[in-house]
Amino acid sequence: MPTEEFVVTPYEVRGAIDYDRLRERFGTQPIADADLATLRELAGGTLSPLLTRGVYCSQRDLARLLADHRAGRRFFLYSGRGPSGPIHTAHLIHFHLCRWLQERLGVPMYIQITDDEKFWLRPGTDREETARFGRENLLDLLAVGFDPKRTRVFFDSRSIGTMYPLATEVAKRITYSTVKAVFGFKPETNIGLVFYTALQTVPAFYPSWRTGHPVPCLIPCGIDQDPHFRVTRDLADGLQYPKPALLHGQILPGLSGGAKMSAGGDRADDALYLNDPPAEVDRKIRRAFTGGRATLEEQRRLGATPEVCSVWALWRTQFARDDLEFETVTRDCRSGAMMCGECKEKILGRIHPFLEEHRRRREKARDYAESLILEPLPGGTDAAHAPELPEP
């Protein structure tokens, strides 16, 4: 087990994460086999590999959400993206799970693009540029394959008129001392960031607020985002809305060995971007940090360690064609039957067509992306420009 102390907050991930200890620290629950069985049944007998392979490792209130859904109180999905730059493969994980859930259960999906937060968070950034990243990122998220009829977008800087009434309600119920304790804000934190969590709460309650009766919400997100939604959940009772349920994904490792795949400063090669040119993809994968041994001879004899390998994380989350391929890759890695070089060439054979297909779907999303963004109509009504979703 890792012994080094690890840190996980919405604004910092550091060290080797022990997920058992992190669940204890956060007060979340593991995903029970019974919950997976219920979900499999609701989904018509299948489960997303992201669930069967343990990529999602923690939850809040999942059993209640699924029981409600089965009883006819259907849920909706909410996940988001802070547009700090181009999107990399790890960003897509939660959207892959959401798409799978939407496809199988027919539920609505709200995507939030938090361009205001990223502008407030990152010194020296430009508001227009952050919004531009938001528009680009949204195309990538929609390329995952959401049903436009069942998907709407809160694009903070654009949707503020739709979001502000509920954000105003919510903000009155959150004290500075709460956000200071939860996010570790300091006196020099700007007042935009202090306010921001009110906006991240809006999509979770929006359908309940609009319809006037409780609509359950499921939020698949990185476990580092849990503190935001703890604030949201604490508000639910006072507002008489259902507490959103959460499915927490593990933090995916970077290609150069970082704890979290990220665009951070000196780790330019840490992330595989969806817009990386093919030669760049080849270079990053061939250099990627693995669980291999010091010499080929040693590795053939002793095998490698997939659990610490950044390439295995890609097989596990996105690039194995099916469970058989994933199990074969894992077994051959562990046994020493497949060397890291061979494994990398093999996964490149999956990544290149994936990125090509992604770019095709991304271009198609341009046709309808704008029409999914919630914006208010002038005239003081709360009516949105993009039609709101029917209830689930």
**Contact residues: its own copies, CB under 8 A:** 116, 119-120, 127, 157-158, 160-161, 164-165, 168-169, 171-177, 179-180, 185-192, 194-195, 197-198, 370, 373, 375-380, 385
How far, in Å, CA of 153 to CA of 203, rounded? 9
Measured from the CB atom, is 16 or 383 closer to its own copies? 383
In the complex with its own copies, the residue whose CB is nearer, 68 or 370, is 370
Is the dihedral angle over the CA atoms 286, 141, 31, 183 positive or is it negative?
Answer: positive
Closest by CA to 228, choosing from 324, 117, 140, is 117
Residue number, 186 or 321, with CB nearest to its own copies: 186
Nearest approach in angstroms of CB 183 to its own copies is 11
Whole-angstrom Cα distance, residue 391 to residue 107? 9
**Cα separation of 375 and 392, whole Å?**
21
Whole-number minimum distance, CB 109 to its own copies, in Å? 21
For residues 154 and 79, the answer to whether their CB atoms sit within 8 Å is no
Yes or no: say if 35 and 66 are a contact pair by the CB < 8 Å rule.
yes
Closest by Cα among 94, 62, 29 to 252: 94
Q: Name the residue nearer to its own copies (CB basis): 200 or 310.
A: 200
Please state the closest distance from residue 126 (CB atom) to its own copies, in A: 10
Identify which of residues 15 and 192 has a Cβ nearer to its own copies in the complex: 192
**Which amino acid would we find at residue 297?**
E
Instruction: Extract the tokens encoding 39.
Output: 């979900």
Q: How far apart are CA 159 and CA 111, in angstroms?
A: 12
Nearer to its own copies, 325 or 375 (CB): 375
Half-sphere exposure of residue 94, counting CA atoms within 13 Å on the CB side? Answer: 27
Q: With respect to its own copies, which residue has the nearer C-beta, 88 or 158?
A: 158
Contacts 24+ apart (CB under 8 A), 328-331: 330/306
> 156-172 and 191-211 are packed helices; what angle lies between their axes, rounded to 10 degrees?
90
DSSP state at residue 272 = -
Whole-number minimum distance, CB 133 to its own copies, in Å? 15
User: Minimal CA–CA distance to 312: which of 293, 294, 332, 337?
Assistant: 332
What is the nearest approach in angstroms of its own copies to the Cβ of residue 229?
16
Q: Which is nearer to its own copies, 119 or 133 (CB)?
A: 119
User: Cβ of residue 207: shortest distance to its own copies, in angstroms?
Assistant: 19
Asked whether the beta carbons of 39 and 51 are under 8 A apart, the reply is: yes
The least CB distance from residue 200 to its own copies, in Å, is 12
Q: Least distance in Å: CB of 349 to its own copies?
A: 40
